[in-house]
Every structure is written in structure tokens, then in C-alpha cells.
Structure 1
Amino acid sequence: MAELSLQIEPLTDSQQTPFDLLELADPSKAHINAYLESGACYIAKVNSELIGVMVLKEVDSSTIEIKNIAIKETDQGKGIGKALLKHAATISRESGYKNLRIGTGNSSIGQLALYQKEGFEIKSVEKDFFLKHYDELIFENGIQCKHMIVLEKDLKTLT
């Protein structure tokens, strides 16, 4: 089972940024570069093979946000995204944050389900976010991605 040999670690300066994975979740290299500058990138490996990535960035002293989370397409559905979400919650709580935030598109049906199963609750909707901030139209699951659904998890009740 993949979870048994899963290793999650911070990306080091000597390691190459996994843009191929980051772009699975965010098609804008400019956006990725912007949040990588002030965020912390974590990589997930199974048997030394890079299969996942996540970027955390502080919103304020009580809230940290998962700006990007992606799993190699051939490894999706194996619990790796769930493990990254749990890791993000654990390290964020240990760092003193009270809330963990994540945003996703209105068309990201699978992600919306996963995040809610992992204890995230819908906090707000940023109307037309993807129309205003991305040059290309985005379609997923046959649905145009227009709005950002912002979800948040209360880390104070984390078990």
C-alpha cells in the first residue's frame, strides 16, 4: 500500500522545483512562482519517486493556506492527497496556526469532496476568481471553472 512507504519532506534548495506536478493544480507558472517565493514547498515520495507536492503559505498569524496540492495522475486515488492534507494540518497546528485554508475551483468536484471529508468546511466563494486571474479559460469535469470555493479547517479541534 502506498501510504506505508510515503515520505513527506520539505523541498530543499538543492532539489528542483516540481513544476510539472504544481501545474497539475495550477496552470499559471506566474502564480506558482509568486506563492513559492514566500511559501513552503513539501514533496511526497514513494520509494524515492516524487509523486506529490504541496505549498503552504501564511495568510496571517492564525491562518495558513494550502496554495497548491497535486498528485501525479497515475498515483491519484491511493490516499496520497489525503495524507498530504493530514500532514499539512499536523505541521500547521504544531506551528501555532488555528486554521488551515484551501481554495479550489467550482468545477473541482473530486477535490471538493475530498476536502470536506477531511474536515474542511466551505467558508466563502470568490465569484469569477478564475475569470479575473487567469488568461485561459479552464474547464474541468465538463464544467467551466469560474469561482474559487474557499474552505477552512479548524485546527484547534484536530485529533
Structure 2
Amino acid sequence: MSDDELDEIRQKKREQIESKIRGDGAGTAQEASDAPSEPIYVNGASELNETVSKYDVVLVDFYADWCGPCKMLEPTVEQLAANTDAAIAKVDVDQNQQLAAQYQVRGVPTLLLFADGEVAEQIVGVRGYDDLEGLINAHLA
């Protein structure tokens, strides 16, 4: 992670803390709008932990490049990133075998939904946009 990225994260956290002290609620609104509009490619447990701690709701797609159903799910995941307030993360199980094992991913695609830093849902297999959007919306504050 570059110094510029770290400075940006520090600045956002500083603004959130100052907002909480003032009691104006601005930090919460800013945080919700900061969910990226494209999937975040995660490499390793530390990057996943950072992503999960940064956003209230994170949908993590454990996938493999050779997996046909994963390729079918990819447009849906990209659409969710663009259209929901949740952050969407993607983890390549071939490059992150220990991380996949840590979350007991035994087949791909597997989707984990984190809400407030904890695993709230686990979905194995391909699901439609509406199902996944409903699942995300159920956990958004």
C-alpha cells in the first residue's frame, strides 16, 4: 500500500472521528458513499481484514479462473458493486489457498457476506442478481 493511500485512509478516519465528536453524523454518510463501484481484488488475509473493517457490508466472492460458474457469476458481482452500497471483494482461491481454508471454502464460487466485521451469510454456487441484492440490503443499516 502506498503512502498516498495510507494518508487518504488516515484522513477519512480522522474526519469520521471528528464527526462523531461533533455529533453531526457526517462520517456515517461519507462512509456509506465510499463503497467502491468496482470489485476489490484481495490478495491475502490482511487485505481482506482491511476491507472488511473499512466497510459495513462486504460481499466476498471466492472464485477461480478455471471455474465456469465463477465466470457466469462475474457480471452479477460487477453489477452489485456498481449498484449497491456494499463493497464487493474478490478472492482467487488458487492464489489464496490459506485464506480459502480459513473460511472453509470447499467449492467455488462461494460468497461470504460480512456485516459489521463478522460473517453473516455463506452462499455456495451461482445466485441471481435479485437474490444477492436482497441479501445485501437485508444487512445494510
TM-score by length of 1: 0.24
- Structure ranking higher on relative contact order (CA contacts 8 Å, 6+ apart): 2
Larger strand share, 1 or 2: 1
More helix as a share of residues: 2
